[in-house]
Amino acid sequence: MSRLQDKVAIVTGASSGIGRATAKQFAREGAKVVVGARRDAELQSLVAEIRADGGDAVALAGDVRSEDYAKALVALAIARYGRLDVAFNNAGMIGEAGPSTGVSEAGFSNAVAVNLTAAFLGAKHQIAQMQTHGGGSVIFTSTFVGHTAAFPGVAAYAASKSGLIGLTQALAAEFGPEGIRVNAILPGAVDTAMYQDMNDTAESQAFITQLHALKRVATPEEMAKSVAYLASDDASFVTGTAMLVDGGVSITRT
């Protein structure tokens, strides 16, 4: 499959989980990939895997909360590959959890900075570059939490990720006339390191599994295929959408 042949893509949060799987999926489908995250060793390992499979990728480690880093990722894409067609702003965190009355201002602000502000800063510079050649696809990782179903104890996560849906819609409306599509995926539970950390007992994992209509959690590779669809011309008339990829957890929670 080569739906992304010769396209150039940026993926943040690429050192593990959905980001790592998506970078590999993009490369398999023909894209040249710029991968970003905090952990350089993991990024270099990912680049080596992609190249070993015949793909083309380059890495730049940094902090997504920094606007300079957002600029640097775009600059690297242009310096290395000459253009930018796709951006998957995926970096995120659960943030400070627990009863909302006990969440610190710093904890709440950090979740917003990583999950929402960083995505805006990335898109700001990615879209500016896409405008120079008349189109592109920007994708965010939001969540079903706080959109179709709510859980107690994750106010910072829910609020910041819900904000991504508003950002998606605003950017889609603003830049649609220039051929730039903006969408978000809303995963259910995905078997990542973050999921394992949050659900570190068999009982917890069984509970989460049963919440989903499909009675299982997703693999990162399943999320990656959905992102690749939104990145590709198969989704040429899709913009401003918050696409549930949640295994039916929304319909069992509402």
Beta bridge partners of 57: 33
Structure tokens at 8: 């150039």
Beta bridge partners of 8: 32
Whole-number CA gyration radius for the chain = 17
CB burial readout 81-92, b (16+ within 10 A) else e: beebbbbbbbbb
Q: What whole-number distance in Å separates Cα of residue 181 and Cα of residue 170?
A: 11
Q: What whole-number distance in Å separates Cα of residue 27 and Cα of residue 192?
A: 20
In the set 69, 81, 157, 195, the catalytic residue is: 157
Residue closest to 87 by CA, chosen among 15, 161, 14, 38: 14
* Coil, helix or strand at residue 117: helix
Residue 43 burial by Cβ neighbours in a 10 Å radius (0-12, 13-18, 19+): buried
- Residue that is written with structure tokens 């959890």 in the block: 97
For residue 10, report the phi and psi dihedrals to the nearest 5 degrees: -110, 135
Would residue 69 show up in a list of annotated catalytic residues for this protein? no
Cβ atoms of residues 23 and 11 within 8 Å: yes
Specify the DSSP class assigned to residue 115: I
Cβ atoms of residues 183 and 139 within 8 Å: yes
Active-site residues: which are they? 157
